[in-house]
Amino acid sequence: MSSLNIKAAFLSIVILFVGLALWEVFNQAPKATEELDEFALLMGGEDKEARVPPPSKVFKHAYKELSDPFYDAGPNDKGIGIQLFYSLVRVLIGFGAAAAIAIPLGFVIGMSELMYKALNPFIQILKPISPLAWMPLALFIIKDSEKSAVFVIFICSIWPMLLNTAFGVSNVRKDWIKVAQTHELSKLKTAFCVILPASAPTIFTGMRISIGIAWLVIVAAEMLVGGTGIGYYVWNEWNNLDLNSVIFSIIMIGLVGMTLDLILNALSRLVVYEE
């Protein structure tokens, strides 16, 4: 590893510890300096004032949660692992369905100027709609909150993959198409042996953007539909005023999102080529 990377890693760790230290120091309960009045005594003293918990408490809580991530003690008390699992399954189903439609459709749009021009107005109108705006309609039509959440993931994942696939396919270098032509490749063979590998890196970029958006949206969607999932968990812990859990789950959402991105990045390396 280069010395730059080592320096960067070292600096990251320093920033982390300084940040945590500042958070810790400025979040100590204020010392009782004078006699508590009757009200304060009734409320259990100043120390019980609601306050963002310091990192030490969050870590203690995180350790407890992570040492038993899959416990299930009823509908309102499930381990973080179970909640994340529910969210991941929804994201993967919605994302998978979106990919199954967006990539072939994007291919068609990219190959045919007519289809591109015909479908472009619809895409331009549908694309900027916040995925959560679909929720009421989805709930009404599907009549199932869980499936509606999956639908919202589907609808938000579809656009980046559709547009990136169409862009990648329509921008395949003409020289490579000529190579296919002069080798008498059939349309289908040209699509699979030349256009697909040529546009694969662009398609993967679309998939990375989509899964990132899907993971952003699932939290909000689950806050609305409730029941299970990491979004529901965050909102439920907020209702419980358990800020330790809220902060802990925020960090977990970030870690899982990063992992999803890393996985897709690793997959896209398999298809990337240098010109």
Which CB sits closer to another protein, 104 or 197?
197
Distance CA(107)–CA(77), nearest Å, equals 45
Q: How far is the CB of 178 from another protein (least distance, A)?
A: 6
Which CB sits closer to another protein, 56 or 181?
181
Distance CA(150)–CA(98), nearest Å, equals 10
What is the 8-class DSSP label of residue 72?
Answer: B
Kindly report the backbone phi and psi dihedral angles of residue 258, in degrees, each rounded to the nearest multiple of 5, phi listed first.
Answer: -65, -40
Kindly report the backbone phi and psi dihedral angles of residue 78, in degrees, each rounded to the nearest multiple of 5, phi listed first.
Answer: -120, 155
Both tokens of 37, joined, read: 């009045």
Which CB sits closer to another protein, 201 or 226?
201
Q: How many residues bind another protein (CB under 8 A)?
A: 18
For 185, residues 6+ apart whose C-beta sits below 8 A from its C-beta are 193, 194
Distance CA(183)–CA(192), nearest Å, equals 14
Mark 123-161 as b/e (b = at least 16 C-beta within 10 Å).
beeeeeeebbebbeebbeeeeebbbbbbbbbbbbbbbbb
Which CB sits closer to another protein, 202 or 228?
202
Q: Which residue has the tokens 């003409």?
A: 174
Binds another protein by CB under 8 A, chosen from 34, 35, 37, 274 = 274
41 binds another protein (CB under 8 A): no
Which CB sits closer to another protein, 20 or 200?
200
275 binds another protein (CB under 8 A): yes
Max CA distance (Å), the chain? 93
Q: How far is the CB of 198 from another protein (least distance, A)?
A: 7
Q: How far is the CB of 140 from another protein (least distance, A)?
A: 46
Which CB sits closer to another protein, 117 or 187?
187
**Binding track, positions 172-211, relative to another protein; x by CB under 8 A:** ---xx-xx-xxxxx-------xx--xx-x-----------
250 binds another protein (CB under 8 A): no
3-state secondary structure of 78: strand
Binding site residues, another protein, CB under 8 A: 175-176, 178-179, 181-185, 193-194, 197-198, 200, 271, 273-275
